[in-house]
Structure 1
Amino acid sequence: MTANLLRRKLDNDEAEITVVDKSTDHFYQPSFYLVPFGYLEPDQSRNINDLLKPGVEFVHDAVTGVDPDGQTVSLADGDDLEYDYLVVATGHRLDPSAMPGLTEAWEDHDDVYPFYHYEAALEMRDALENFDGGTFLVTQPDTPIKCPGAPLKMTMLAEDYFQRQGIRDDVEVIMTRNAEHHFGVQPYRDKLYEIWNDRDIEFKENFSVEKVDPDAGVVYGADGEEIEYDLYAPVTPQFGQEPITDNSPLTEGSEDGEYVTIDKHTCQHDAYDNVFALGDCENAPHSKTAAAARKQAHIVGKNLTSAIRDMPLRAEYDGYAACPLLTKKGKALIAEFDYEGAISAPVESKMNWIMDVNVLPSVYWDAWMKGYDPLP
């Protein structure tokens, strides 16, 4: 989206624009908690070449490091790409090995599905169809995660699914988080507590996953607490991408060394004026959602264009993030907030469901990814 926005703003003689990605496929990640229930079909990816505007070059290779002093990006094939300006949008790295026992549980057992991985989301469809009762468990890691609402959506959609399958009385639904509350922003938090209490969904606060024992079907907490499961949907631990965290100085100064340090309003790096970052890879204090990255794409597009034209950076990101919280089939509430707090009211409606499930995927592919946005 950022590359296409820049291509629209900048003449061909002003800038050559190159996108580097180790994959040729771009996935619609919000589908990963919808596919298991059949609310979206599995084919939710596009070839990157089909998304980029003419005049944007695509390099299919893995980035191995960034030298902002030499203004080069190193690639796995041994080449270096030189740049005048750099946009870092590398997102989160999913690392199941960071949760002891998770990789074995996923690969060797048929009751564990870390649904942030596309393959696991697909596999979970059959598991749900065959599930006839027991404990359905969703856990979250201690690391920051992209789309913090996704575990709640998975939990609520699963509870509703069991109700529709006629087995709800035979299922205990539990979600954990290593925090006091399951959602960080009011008034959405209280509305969700109301929904969960009405539907007998259990939330275990301050639970830090220590390890998974797939043979016993048990998740162990750091404090010694044990939770048995019959069907388990863990959120995988997530980190910054290693080429950025280990082979560049762009994350130096961030609290844990995992995130590119930027000005939270301009999205410009705090040490390198010709580097910008957006999305899940940077340290601005916003929720890591697609809605946030979408808003930041406009800011980066405007400010990078100004930088190229030797003009002041005037565009400012206000911390906007949005999370469509799907509460059951046909119902959703939209949580919208920025650096200052909540924006929208916590109202469940059918229209919110239609917008998220039936409308947004097409808008995502046909407008946003192409660099068009009716509501920038």
Structure 2
Amino acid sequence: MTAKVVVLGAGYAGAGAIQQLEAELDSADITWVSDNDYHLVLHEAHRVIRDPRVKDKITLPVHDIKSPSTQFVEGTVTGVDTDERNVELDSGDEIEYDYLLVGLGSQTAYYGIPGLDENSLTLKSLDDALEIHESVKEAAGEATRNDPATVVVGGAGLSGIQSAGEIAEYRDKHRAPIDIYLVEALDEIMPGQDPELQGTVKKYLLEKDIEILTGDPITEATEDDIQFDEGDPLEYDVFLWTGGITGRAAMNDCGLDNEHNRVTTEANFQTSDDRVFAIGDCAIVDQGNDPAPPTAQAAWQAAEVAGENIARSIRGQPLATWTYDDKGTLISIGDAAVAHDIPLVPVDTFNSSAAEFLKKAAAARWIADVSSIGRALDAWESL
């Protein structure tokens, strides 16, 4: 009997796994389910904050990624029943599976901070990026030089830093009266990263007139201001929150071992149910004392092994073990970029045109891998 394999999510994990499954399984019945009929190059979504036209360069239609034999279903997953082996959609439809790969990504974590959910924007989708652009544009249009708009970005990880950089580029391009604040609860930006990288990125942020506030957690957000544990409240016109992730609500009561709706797996991506595998931001993969970060890079790597392991499981073969291979960090601050710990490069941290090229090349390579070289070349200037 032909195995029914269902893949949930069209992020890096889902898109990469679909192609691996198609390569591994000649006769399987593969169904791909996603909220949207395109794959978003999410680590470049911050570019849309500055220029909405970029959206056409970083959205790849699913039909350019999958083979004609793979069925695509556009719909939002509302639940997974591992006992009955089916996936529940918001339409009320159910999709049966023999093997399931969960790559649903994550949603924003608010850590129980009052008002944070209701009063902040997020950057988890293309619509989010477009909303941030419109909000910044509207706030700038109502501001004056004597009374500038205040844009606050909460969370100084990769997403927060890159978003602040794009807002600064928008401000400078349009000569818009905007004050930008980057807020981090911990003492340093990019918490846990190499101090050399932190220092280089901070230098660029300050050069772009982005004020950095660290070491003072947000305790509440109202419609008008952000309140801190120690400092004075900060009034804002636009508030973007990028401070953390948690699992999708669809994984509530799924019967799988999980932490905050992020499914826990072995290093082979197999969950507590041997017919269900999970990858990407929705999963916590056992990597011992050095867990893989919730990044595009990790999801790209995981997708290949996860797809292979589902094929191995169907064939009754031993599963392969995945170990995350850190290829370094690439981060953009507007048009500038910083590279750190890149293999075969003798300098730990650099911020020249070479870093900008590598940042573009990483995104272009992914687009070429899952779509075509032509699409990658067309997107190059926007990356």
Please indicate the TM-score interval, normalised by the length of the shorter structure: 0.7 to 0.9
Deviation at 1:336, TM superposition (A): 5.5
| 2:339 aligned residue | 334
Deviation of 1:19 (Å): 0.9
Could you tell me which residue of structure 1 aligns to residue 247 of structure 2? 240
Alignment partner, residue 280 of structure 2: 279
Residue 213 of structure 1 pairs with residue 218 of structure 2: no
The verdict on how the C-alpha distance between 1:354 and 1:8 changes in structure 2, with shifts beyond 3 A counting, is same
Alignment correspondent of 1:38: 51
Query: Counterpart in 2 of 1:140?
Result: 155
Instruction: Give the counterpart of 1:176 among 164, 172, 183.
Output: 183
In the TM superposition, 1:1-376 aligns within 5 A as: 1-12=16-27, 15-38=28-51, 41-43=54-56, 44-94=58-108, 100-101=114-115, 105=119, 114-116=122-124, 117-124=128-135, 126-127=137-138, 130=141, 132=145, 133=148, 135-140=150-155, 148-159=157-168, 162=171, 172-183=179-190, 184-186=192-194, 187-196=196-205, 201-214=210-223, 217-222=224-229, 225-235=232-242, 238-244=245-251, 246-252=252-258, 254=259, 257-263=260-266, 265-269=267-271, 271-284=272-285, 285-318=291-324, 320=326, 323-329=329-335, 331-335=336-340, 345-357=348-360, 359-368=361-370
Structure 1 residue 267: Cα displacement: 2.0
Shift of the 306–203 alpha-carbon distance from structure 1 to 2, 3 Å rule, reads same
For the structure 1 residues 45 and 291, does the alpha-carbon distance in structure 2 shift closer, same or farther, using more than 3 Å as the test? same
* CA distance 1:369–1:95, change in 2 (3 Å): farther
State whether residues 302 and 315 of structure 1, in contact with CA within 8 Å, keep that contact through their aligned partners in structure 2.
no
Tell me if structure 2 keeps the 8 A contact 1:92–1:238.
Answer: yes
Partner of 2:10: none
3-state SS of the aligned residue for 2:254? coil
Which amino acid in the other structure matches residue 137 of structure 1?
V
Structure 2 unaligned regions, length at least 5: 1-15, 286-290, 373-383
- Seen in structure 2, the aligned counterparts of structure 1 residues 35 and 199 have a Cα distance that, compared at 3 Å, is closer
Distance 1:123 1:163 in 2: 16
User: Aligned partner of 1:20: which letter?
Assistant: V
Secondary structure at 1:261 match in 2: strand
CA gap 1:267/1:93 in 2 versus in 1, 3 angstroms: same
Identical pairs, percent: 21
User: 3-state SS of the aligned residue for 2:263?
Assistant: coil
TM superposition shift of 1:294: 0.6
- Relative to 1, partners in 2 of residues 1:157 and 1:122: Cα closer, same or farther, differing over 3 Å? closer
SS of 1:211's equivalent in the other structure is: strand
Shift of 1:17: 1.3
* CA distance in structure 2 between the partners assigned to 1:122 and 1:155 by the alignment: 12
Alpha-carbon offset, residue 61 of structure 1: 2.9
**Unaligned 5+ residue runs, structure 1?**
107-112, 142-147, 371-376
Q: How many residues align?
A: 341
Q: Calculate the TM-score normalised by the size of structure 1.
A: 0.76
CA distance in 1: counterparts of 2:150 and 2:133, whole angstroms:
21
TM-aligned CA distance change 1:195 to 1:21, over 3 Å: closer
